[in-house]
Amino acid sequence: MLRIRKVFSLALALFHFPLRFSSNPNPKTLKTQARKSPQIQKSNALINSAGRFGDRRVPAAGPRSRKDSTGGFVDVAITIFRRIGHPDVHSYSNLIVGLCRFGRLANAVEVFHQMSVSNLAPTRYAANILIGQLCELGGRNQLIEKVKVKDWRRPFDILVPNIWAKSGIETAVEVLWAITKLGLLPSSHVVNGLVSELCRLGSIEEAIEILKMAENRKMRSIDESYTIVIRVLCGLRRMDEACNLFGRMIFLGLKPKLIVYNSIIHSFCKLGNVAEAQDYFDIMNKRRCEPDCVTYTMLIHANCANRKWEAAYELLMEMVGLGWNPHFGTYNLVNGFLKEYGRLDLSQKLERKMEVENLQAYCKAGKLEAAYDKLSSMLAKGFYPPVYARDAFEQAFRRSGRWKIAQELLARLDQIVSKNSSQA
């Protein structure tokens, strides 16, 4: 640590004379001269090194060691930066990154504003670091913070308002619009994080504006931002806007995730618009996005609420056929409608379907005792499994070496099946 500090002190001592440029240089001339100037190149390297060394954890060696290890190097970088006559893009960017690493975001934003006044855009890395740190600062839920007051008799803590807790996200938005005017775009990961934080804080309109900007600039990998905004709009029941954004995703060739479909279907089901929910379910199947148990459950309950028991029955049969095990309440709800309308045949068909699927699930999971009990109960009820379920049962017991246990039960099954076929 001491050796590193001596190196920076020596470099700073040699850095006495600021660079001289022509009066009021334009950005193009400044960039050209900066490339040719070895002094600016050396200063950029020093500023960058100061920021990188600040990340290292130096063991404590005294009461001032923590302060020196966290603030000394960035102060060296600021001193070097101030001695540059006309800093270039890399000088500004390296200083912004170093200030962000030390948590001095107010100073980093100030440096960025000075840079934008000079009509210079930071590097993409510096922009990502600055906006990302501001989002994290604005995303903290601590509206108040503890501050330690060191009294000479008895130290104590006080609670003070955290001013940056709310303004951090606003500053991040300002920085984003400023760098876009300078012709620079941050990474999609940073944009997704900013949109997510805006939606969490309730600034939906700003999030939509940023989403439109990203779309107009043809930014890649923004499907996560669409997903976030659509989910929030569905939660607020602003379905027209949510459906429009969904249409934009399809138009741009993006593939909506399962959670997008579920959010839209859930909102329409809650609003009682089962027809629209069914339309998006059909779109989901056409675009080869497989529904899950939640999707089917929402549609089944919505159809039952409108007393459309036929559609609910078809959905439940499809759900069971895909291997999804419905909740006991969902099964009882549909089965109750079938019995109410006198469709006992469909009720028995549904029960048989459930029994067969459960038997296969037990065999696949290796739960042989549960599979044995399930097949025994099916035979007691007069339900006979199809050939594929019987084969799955046999293979599961053969693999486990417990074939003799299952052989008696299967022999009884074969006797019952042959007896029924001879009587028919």
Residue 268 CA neighbour count, 13 Å, CB half: 23
Q: Name the pLDDT band for 98 (thresholds 50, 70, 90).
A: confident
* 27-36 helix and 89-101 helix, angle to the nearest 10 degrees: 80
Q: What angle do CA 183, 188, 193 make, to 5 degrees?
A: 115
- C-alpha 40/C-alpha 118 separation (Å) is 17
pTM, rounded to two decimals: 0.74
Look-up: residue for tokens 């379907």? 353
pLDDT reading at 60 higher than 70: no
| β-bridge partners, 157 | 148
Estimate to the nearest angstrom the gap between the alpha carbon of 131 and the chain centroid. 18
- C-alpha 50/C-alpha 9 separation (Å) is 12
To the nearest whole percent, how much of the chain has pLDDT over 70?
Answer: 73
Q: Name the pLDDT band for 245 (thresholds 50, 70, 90).
A: very high
Whether residue 241 contacts residue 273, with contact meaning beta carbons closer than 8 Å, is answered with no
Report the mean per-residue pLDDT for the chain: 79
Estimate to the nearest angstrom the gap between the alpha carbon of 111 and the chain centroid. 31
| pLDDT of res. 64 | 38
Q: What is the pLDDT of residues 162-185, one digit of tens each?
A: 554 446 788 899 999 999 998 888
Q: What is the mean pLDDT of residues 264-286?
A: 95
| pLDDT of res. 340 | 92
| β-bridge partners, 160 | 145
Give the number of other Cβ atoms within 10 Å of residue 69's Cβ: 18
Q: Give the residue ranges of DSSP H helices in 271-327.
A: 274-286, 293-305, 309-321
Q: What is the pLDDT of residues 355-376, one digit of tens each?
A: 898 898 899 888 999 999 998 9
- C-alpha 246/C-alpha 226 separation (Å) is 8
* 223-235 helix and 204-216 helix, angle to the nearest 10 degrees: 150
| pLDDT of res. 190 | 92
Q: Name the pLDDT band for 413 (thresholds 50, 70, 90).
A: confident
